[in-house]
Amino acid sequence: MTLEITRIDPFDSDAVDAWWDAYATAERADRGPDVPVWSREETRSEMQQESRVIERRPFLLRDGGTIVGAAGLALPLKDNTHVAHVVVHVPPAHRRRGIGSAALAFLEAEAADAGRTTAQGDTSWRYELGSDGAGAPGREFARRHGYALALGDVQNRLALPFDPAVLDRLDADAAEAISGYTIRSWVGPVPDDVVEGWAILDASIDTEAPSGELDIEPAKPDVESIRENEALLVRQNRLSIGTIALTPAGEAAAYTQLVVSGDDGNAYQWGTLVRAADRGHRLGTAVKTANLRMLLREASHARAVYTYNAESNIHMLAVNTLLGFVPTERMGELQKRLA
C-alpha cells in the first residue's frame, strides 16, 4: 500500500463528493444505515465557509488512485487554541490495512506543527453496547491509538409529531417556579436586543455543562461568532429556532436552540444551559418546552429531534425523559495529549 494524503479544495465538487461518500459510508457501516449524518451539501457549505473562529483542513486518502478514506483537522482560532479536532473515516472495504492509523498519525503531526497540545475527537456506538463502547469499531480504534474516553454522552430521540398536551402539563408544573422570568422564542437569527446575553450563555456551555476530563477552557463571549454561525446555517438550508429566559432586569438566565436540517428533515438540539445563579427554577424545562412548541408550529415537517447529553447530566436527561425522548445511541468524546 502506498497511501497518499491530500488536502482538498473545498470548491472542488468531485473532491468534496468523494470525501462525503467515504464519511457517510463509514458512519453508516458502524452505526446503522438509518443514522442521521450531515448531508452532502451541509458538509460542502461548512468546508467552504471563511471563518475567523476555526480553520478546517479536509483530506482525501488514496491508495494507487483509489479513494480509501477521508480525514479532517479542525483548529480553533479564537478559544482553546491548544486543541485540535481530528476525524478519520475509512469505509469497511479498506480497513485492516493501516490506512486509518497512518491518517491519524498524519493529523496528529499536523496538529503538533500548528502548536496544538491536545487532540480531541468523537465516535458513536449502539446504546446497547454500554457506556464504554467496548467492541465498537471507532471506540477500539481510538483505544489502540491512545485516546481516552474523556466524556460519555447519550443520544436521545423524540419522534415527531407528538401530543402538545405533554408540553401543557410540563408548563403547568413549572409555572410557579418560573414566575418573574420572561420566556421569548423566535425563528432565525438571535434578536439584537438579547444576542449579547445569548453569547454569554453559549460561550460558557462547554465548561458550565458537564465536561468530564476534557481539556477545555471557558470561551470568550463573541456576538460576531454567533452571527458567523447563523450565516452558515442559512447557506446549509438549516432553520434555527431559539428560546431565551430573561430575568426581570433583562439578563439572560437560560437558553436553548434547535436546528432543523432542510435536507434530512430532522431537528437537532444544540446548546441548552441555565446559568448557575438561576438554577432550581425549572428554567431548563421551560425553555425546552417553549422551543418545542415553536418547532411544532414553524417546522411541522420535522420527523424527529435528536439531542446529546453527558451521561452524568442527570438533570437534563430527566427533562428529556419527561418530554418523551428515548435513548438511541452513545457517543464518546475522546482525547489524547500530544505534548
Average pLDDT, the chain: 96
Confidence of residue 231 (pLDDT cuts 50, 70, 90): very high
Q: Is residue 136 part of a domain?
A: no
Residues 231 and 280 grouped into a single domain: yes
pLDDT tens string 87-100: 999 999 999 999 99
What lies within 8 Å, CB to CB, of 246 at 6+ separation is 181, 182, 183, 184, 194, 197, 252, 253
| Cα separation, 252 vs 312, whole angstroms | 25
pLDDT at 315: 87
Residues 299 and 226 grouped into a single domain: yes
Q: Is residue 132 part of a domain?
A: no
Residues 161 and 111 grouped into a single domain: no
Residues 188 and 263 grouped into a single domain: yes
pLDDT at 206: 84
Residues 164 and 99 grouped into a single domain: no
116 within 8 A of 82, measured Cβ to Cβ: yes
Domain boundaries, position 102: 3-116
| Cα separation, 195 vs 189, whole angstroms | 9
| Cα separation, 229 vs 23, whole angstroms | 23
Domain count along the chain: 2
pTM of the model: 0.94
Picking from 232, 206, 230, 188, the residue whose alpha carbon sits closest to that of residue 45 is 232
Percent of the chain with pLDDT over 90: 94
What lies within 8 Å, CB to CB, of 192 at 6+ separation is none
Q: Tell me the sheet residues that pair with 259.
A: 240, 268
Q: Is residue 127 part of a domain?
A: no
Residues 175 and 242 grouped into a single domain: yes
In this model, does residue 1 exceed pLDDT 80? no
Residues 44 and 188 grouped into a single domain: no
pLDDT at 210: 83
The three-point CA angle 324-269-138 to 5° equals 100
Distance of CA 171 to the CA centre of its chain: 27
Please report, for the domain that includes residue 186, its CATH number: 3.40.630.30
